[in-house]
Amino acid sequence: MAEVAVSPRMRRMQWIAIALATGAIALNYIDRSTLAIGNLPIRQEFGLNATAIGALQSFWSITYAICQVPIGFALDRLGPRYLIGFALVLWSAAQAAGGLAATYTQLMWARIALGATESPAFPGAVRITSDWFHVKDRGKPTGFYNSGGSIGPAIAPPLLTFLMLSFGWRVMFIAMGAAGLLAAVAWFKLYRDPAKTELEPRDEAYLRANREAEAPVELRNWGRLFRFRPMWGLMLAAFCGGYAVWMYQTWLPAYLEMQQHISIAKTGFLAMIPLCFSVLGALAGGWFTDRLARSDMDLIASRRLPSILGLLLSGLCTIVATQAGNATEAVICISAAMFFLSAGIAGKWTLITAVAPQSYCTSVASIQNFGGYLGGTASPLITGMVVDMTGSFVAALAIGAGMTILGAMILQLGVRSPIASEELDRTGTPRAASAAAGS
């Protein structure tokens, strides 16, 4: 179904919803970035080495990953409006609490709370997209909300560096907590559920396929998702992509400071450049998937191909980055790597809505994200350990490159068929899982 089928009012409501989801994700990522920007001052104040600061990110990430599993089920049952709105309030409080921490242990618990309360943002965006857009029109909005995961980190270095250098890292944490509370007010005021909104007949017709495909998500059926090969393929590929994402987002400022000998003030600007390319990559990946979906290509293949190409090219650019001899070469290589990584990840998120039944899109997204943040848990800690052992980021970058290439291979081999809703309702072993295993 073509994008032009809906009314101007419907189009406006669709993109307000996507803009709100994108803004929530961007704020989510800015809050996460406070640890990366405050890396060296926090280490100096608490007397930490690189492994200990990496562990703080890993505590956040493992909590976030674990919370992904129940939050997807809750979103499919309850919808995003209240869950995301209240989550904004809670994660803003956790973010501010980090600025008040008097010990390493208190800071650790603040990051754990942040990980738990930030968990609805990305799965909620998947639900918003699947509620408001036809399945063949979801690439562009998916690329848009995925760009929030790059817009936030792109804004974060100059904004947070300014706050930190002007007022200290503690004020930086608290200021972002206050900003989140204002964002929660905007969310509750502006976001609407399409099922509870009066729409024109042509808009109702546009969304009819979505609503006809919906059915209540039962816990026993939700658990059967793990019997399907594509579910495991999405989760394992997300682990690989998440490893690379959090290698860069946690350690990019420190890499520029330690490896390329850039001052903290200049790091805030230079670290923004690769993240701007990451925004462009997310938008390009979403656009590309919609172009392929409207061609004669199979829907799953049209969503999978951009993911595979993006991950492969990101890995190759990261390998080149290991040989960068100066800051200019490093920023160019990492910018290219993050552009292709974001394009591949945008494709991977649209792949969810091609593989999963409508009612289970958020559940599949949250399980996939669980895998991604297991990778995000391992990455900061392993990177910190490698840097401590070698005194360099070369080996750490090479590991990240290998992970993205592995992720592309998993998508090609493991995600080739859809998860049929009728098979989720069966009590026996699903035929789709058996068929997928033989594909």
pLDDT tens-digit map of 375-405: 887 888 888 889 889 888 889 999 999 999 9
- In the DSSP assignment, the letter for residue 218 is P
Specify the pLDDT at position 210. Answer: 64
395 occurs within a structural domain: yes
Q: How does 111-120 read in b/e, with b if 16+ C-beta sit within 10 Å?
A: bbbbbbbbbb
In a domain, 64, yes or no: yes
Domain of 118, in residue numbers: 9-193+218-438
Q: How far is CA 438 from the centre of its chain?
A: 31
Evaluate whether 112 touches 32 at the Cβ level (below 8 Å).
no
Residue 275 tokens, joined: 């993240």
Q: Residue 102 gets which letter from DSSP?
A: -
Q: Find the Cα–Cα–Cα–Cα dihedral 364, 370, 375, 377, rounded to 10°.
A: 170
User: Which pLDDT value is given to residue 157?
Assistant: 78
Token pair 């089928």: residue: 5
Q: Are 352 and 365 in contact, with CB atoms under 8 Å apart?
A: yes
Nearest-angstrom CA–CA distance, 198 and 89: 28
Tell me the average pLDDT across 11-36: 90
Q: Report d(CA 162, CA 19) in Å as an integer.
A: 26
User: Would residue 205 count as lying in a domain?
Assistant: no
φ and ψ of 286, to 5 deg: -65, -45
User: pLDDT of 48-101, one tens digit each?
Assistant: 887 788 788 778 878 888 888 788 778 877 778 888 889 999 999 999 999 999
CATH number, domain of 248, equals: 1.20.1250.20
How many other CB atoms sit within 10 Å of the CB of residue 343?
30
Pick the closest to residue 125 from 410, 397, 361, 406 (CA basis). Answer: 361
pLDDT digits (tens, 9 = 90+) for 207-236: 876 665 555 566 667 778 888 899 999 999
Q: Which one-letter DSSP state was computed for residue 425?
A: T
Is the pLDDT at 3 greater than 50? The verdict is: no
Which residues, 6 or more positions from 242, have their beta carbon under 8 angstroms from its beta carbon? 371, 372, 373, 374, 375, 376, 379
SS3 228: coil
Query: To which residue do tokens 């990305």 refer?
Result: 122
| Rounded Cα gap, residues 320 and 148, in angstroms | 27
In a domain? residue 85: yes
Give how far Cα 392 sits from Cα of 46, 94, 397, 404, Å: 23, 33, 10, 20
Single-letter residue type at 405: I
Question: Does the residue 117 lie in any domain?
Answer: yes
Q: What token pair was written down for 247?
A: 């290698």
* pLDDT tens digits along 148-171: 887 887 788 788 989 999 999 999
The mean pLDDT of the chain is 84
Cβ neighbours of residue 5 under 8 Å, at least 6 residues apart? Answer: 134, 202, 205, 206
| Cα-based distances in Å from 330 to 21, 152, 262, 319, 334 | 32, 21, 12, 11, 6
Nearest to 368, CA basis, from 146, 191, 215: 146
Is 316 a domain residue?
yes
pLDDT of residue 402: 95
Per-residue model confidence (pLDDT) at position 58: 76
Cα(308)–Cα(408) distance, integer angstroms: 5
The answer to whether residues 111 and 60 touch, using CB atoms and an 8 Å cutoff, is: yes
Domain-embedded: residue 4: no
Give the residue with greater pLDDT, 128 vs 58. Answer: 128
Distance between CA 435 and CA 438 in Å, rounded?
Answer: 5
34 close to 172: Cβ distance less than 8 angstroms: yes
Indicate whether 202 belongs to any domain. Answer: no
Question: pTM surpassing 0.85?
Answer: no
The count of domains in the chain is 1
CA–CA distance, 18 with 125 (Å, rounded to integer): 7
Q: Which of these, 432, 370, 286, lies nearest to 65 by C-alpha position?
A: 370
